[in-house]
Amino acid sequence: MVVAVAPRPPYFPAVLRADRHGLVALGGELGADILTEAYTHGIFPWTGERPIPWFCPDPRLVLRPGDFHVSRSLRKVERSGRFALRFDHDFRAVIHACAAMPRPGQDGTWITPNMIRAYREMFERGLAHSVAIYEGDTLVGGLYGLSFGRVFFGESMFARAPSASKVALHALCERLRAWDFAFIDCQQVTPHLQRLGAVVWSRRQFLERLRVALDAPSRPGPWRAQDGEV
């Protein structure tokens, strides 16, 4: 049975009991504290619409940073010098761009104003991060997510120019690989991310790997450019 979110910590039950869609709880108000508890227990909010639905799906899609598949066409784009890469440069612009991006088969966005406020609060705490791709002075692609331990929890990405979001994801993977991150949580199974190297784990496998990866120290933000980055 799906439970109601508790009014104070701990917000979620120690033992997750999800329905067949992966829904584990309903309710609560989005904020940095509840998001921190949720993600470190393998739970994420599906939308900011109330009552807020909290999910821990089975199966779960993950991408190990070293497994990202770089096609020849993507290599060509990266070598062209067309795009500039920036980490944690303008989180607000990236999350708003993700919210505004049309999605096939969707009417509107799940990235509601209360979600934007909550994730910006996470950014201010150094727990949320963005990767932005610029063409000249124009933001043309990027992604955002959260980081705890050796796990990056991907939330959303967008592209206003061909391959811009792939460049952002590849850059993130290279950064996380250098830092010995275990995996990126991609949440939902999608053919697009599977083509880029993501694999399917069961909920049990995901939660077991998550517990191990969270034992490592986190890397709080802001994340800054390294050699070869803007």
How far is residue 222's CA from residue 230's CA, in Å, rounded to a whole number? 14
Cis preceding-peptide flag for 191 (omega within 30 of 0): no
Q: pLDDT per residue over 84-96, tens digit each?
A: 999 999 999 999 9
What tokens does 182 get? Answer: 């275990």
How far is residue 226's CA from residue 230's CA, in Å, rounded to a whole number? 8
* Mean of per-residue pLDDT scores for the chain: 94
Q: pLDDT per residue over 44-66, tens digit each?
A: 999 999 999 999 999 999 999 99
Question: Which DSSP symbol is given to 75?
Answer: H
Looking at residue 65, which CATH number applies to its domain? 3.40.630.70
CA distances from 197 to 59, 175, 186, 214 (A): 16, 16, 11, 23
- Check residue 176 and give its pLDDT: 97
- Check residue 5 and give its pLDDT: 97
Domain interval for residue 108? 1-230
- Within a 13 Å sphere around the CA of 101, how many CA atoms are in the beta-carbon half? 21
Give the strands of the sheet with 44-45, arranged side by side. 3-4, 23-26, 53-55, 44-45
- Check residue 109 and give its pLDDT: 73
Q: For 138-161, b where at least 16 C-beta lie within 10 A, e where not — what string?
A: ebbbbbbbbbbbbbbbbbbbbbbb
The structural domain count of the chain equals 1
- Check residue 132 and give its pLDDT: 97
The rounded average pLDDT for each run of 10 residues, N- to C-terminus, in the chain (230 residues) is 91 91 96 98 96 97 98 96 95 97 65 97 98 97 98 97 97 97 97 97 97 96 72
pTM here? Answer: 0.95
Using alpha carbons only, give the angle 18, 206, 57 rounded to the nearest 5 degrees: 30
CA distances from 34 to 68, 69, 122 (A): 31, 34, 11
Cα 44 to chain centroid distance, Å, stands at 10
How far is residue 139's CA from residue 100's CA, in Å, rounded to a whole number? 13
